[in-house]
Amino acid sequence: MRVAVTGMAWLTALGGDLDVVWQALLDGKSGLRPVPFAGRLRNDLVAEAMDGQVPPPERLVKMACQTIRRALSYAGREADDPDVQLVLSTSLGAMLDDAASRTSLSGWAVSVARELGSIAPPIVVSTACSSSSDAILIGAELIRAGAAKCCVCGGADVVTPSKRLGHSALGTMSTTQLRAFDVRHDGTLLGEGAGFLVLEPESPQRKSFAILRGTGSANDATGMTVADMTGLSAEYAMKRSLADADLPVSAIELINAHGSGTTMNDTTECNAFKTLFGGSDRPLVFATKGNFGHTLGATGAIEAIALVLALRAGRVPPIHGLGQPLPEFSLPLPVSDPVSCDARIGLSLTLGFGGFDTSLIFEVAR
């Protein structure tokens, strides 16, 4: 059974409208802005998607509800439809900064389902920065198994003081700006947002944005925050998604990479791509964290949406902050300006703390 994306929506620091945000990506805009902080940080740049004065627990629920409603509207569905199953994810949400949230990492999702009037209890996923990619993977499996007729899959995450302090202390936060795959890369910058895709069995009676051809995941189990820089686990995830899609490596024409801007993650992806694609001059690789910030548990779904829009538009946005590509990066990268691309099939790769690596393959009609 083929799984169709019948609706999708996002909320980012660049806005929430699909077309407006897409144009902002093509224009090379970034939502990262200085946000004052009482403590000492490596960088005060943050990409806020909603008023930072709203408490994180409330912000998390609001962002998710707004985005899910818009995604469902594209699919002509309502949240209280008994056929709709919510598959919701976050990394740590508001848990680090809100005592009430520490009792359960699923409590926020229950609040979202209640506010939306969802009939079925939500399925909740938390696999660090791969959370929303894994939510999409789970939704696809539910559809294929006949266990669900319609799944709303994705995630939401918020920037909190503890996360800013934590990434600053870990040294994963850039002291300058987020420059994925650039020789000057020195870390990531945080953002918040939400992204959700509506998945249903493919049907001629329903319009769709894309087909979710394949999914795959792996875990390198190297450490809590340290990735396996050989790229082997990321390679496994991509190979498994290709096997699931019944596609050869050569079918992948476009990749939305994790592109976090840290030396460790950029090297991991560089090695994985080099091993999988060899000396080929395709696929084209782009990344969007320089535009949205690293949106943690929401990043996989947001980047999946960006990939689908790029495939549909036949244009790929430049990588914000990229001026001097890593000489060891073997695949082409869009620098400074949008690049035309006639790709129909693309892959979105997400790497998370704890070694969670997830790959999603989408196809659009031409």
* Number of domains the chain is built from: 2
Short-list 110, 261, 248, 259, CA closest to 176: 261
- Shared domain for 113 and 222, answered yes or no, is no
- Shared domain for 133 and 242, answered yes or no, is no
Contacts of 107 (CB under 8 A, 6+ apart): 100, 101
- Shared domain for 152 and 279, answered yes or no, is no
Output the pLDDT for position 218.
Answer: 95
Q: Which of 145, 177, 201 is the last residue of a domain?
A: 201
CATH number, position 43: 3.40.47.10
The DSSP bridge partners found for residue 145 are: none
| 15 C-beta neighbours (distance < 10 Å), count | 17
- The pair of structure tokens assigned to 53 is 């004065």
| Chain segment 37-78, per-residue pLDDT in tens | 988 899 999 999 988 789 999 999 999 999 999 999 999 999
Output the pLDDT for position 152.
Answer: 98
Ranges of residues in the chain whose predicted pLDDT is under 70? 223-225
Range of the domain at 83: 3-201
- Shared domain for 275 and 351, answered yes or no, is yes
Output the pLDDT for position 291.
Answer: 98
- Shared domain for 257 and 341, answered yes or no, is yes
Q: Which of 140, 172, 201 is the last residue of a domain?
A: 201
Short-list 299, 313, 276, 289, CA closest to 350: 299
- Shared domain for 75 and 161, answered yes or no, is yes
- Shared domain for 187 and 277, answered yes or no, is no
Q: Which of 201, 229, 244 is the last residue of a domain?
A: 201
- The pair of structure tokens assigned to 260 is 């976090």
End-to-end CA distance of the chain: 21
- Shared domain for 302 and 226, answered yes or no, is yes
- Shared domain for 225 and 193, answered yes or no, is no
- Shared domain for 62 and 164, answered yes or no, is yes
- Do 357 and 236 form a contact (C-beta atoms < 8 A)? yes
Output the pLDDT for position 225.
Answer: 66
Output the pLDDT for position 189.
Answer: 97
- Shared domain for 70 and 182, answered yes or no, is yes
